[in-house]
Structure 1
Amino acid sequence: WDYGKSTQTRLEPSVAAAKAGKLPEAFFWTDAENNDVPVTAEELIALSEAAEQAMFTKGMEIHVRQRTMKKELEKLTSADEILAYRVDWK
């Protein structure tokens, strides 16, 4: 499965239908490899929750790394040190 804001946006109306018991018979969701996969209401809701958790986790990883880089950058005292600073995902 893929995840992200666009996936979350696409999931919202389907999840609302699932929670209301209004998913059509033979409902399916398309996975990251473009395969149509039959899913139940419970599976769709679980997928939505997993995508939301994955987005939160990645967002926290980014936030923590940004905070770390800010602290590292504050310690640099010359233009050469700043230019040599390597931005990466440690």
Structure 2
Amino acid sequence: MRISHFLAGTAVGAALLLGGAVAAPAQAATAPTDSRSASAAAAATWQWTGEYFSAESACWARESYFMAASNVYDYNCVRNGGLWGGKVLAD
């Protein structure tokens, strides 16, 4: 009886030890998130750029200009009446 309790205790101890050893690297492997970009993106809203184009391709040609701004997270072209308007997701 004592031997089976000893083996059972050793197996449980080994499982706990291995479980702890596996969990530590997994937690260390997760990269920390940038708190500024995460909170800023959460506070961002869609806003019209104020530019309107007769062709959708001209609207999309302005995407790189707006995406270069540090507070812009996305760009989209939306049909607005007979024109295409640019919208940015920005804070």
TM-score normalised by L of structure 1: 0.34
Structure with more helix by fraction: 1
Tell me the TM-score normalized by structure 2: 0.34
Q: Which has the larger radius of gyration?
A: 2
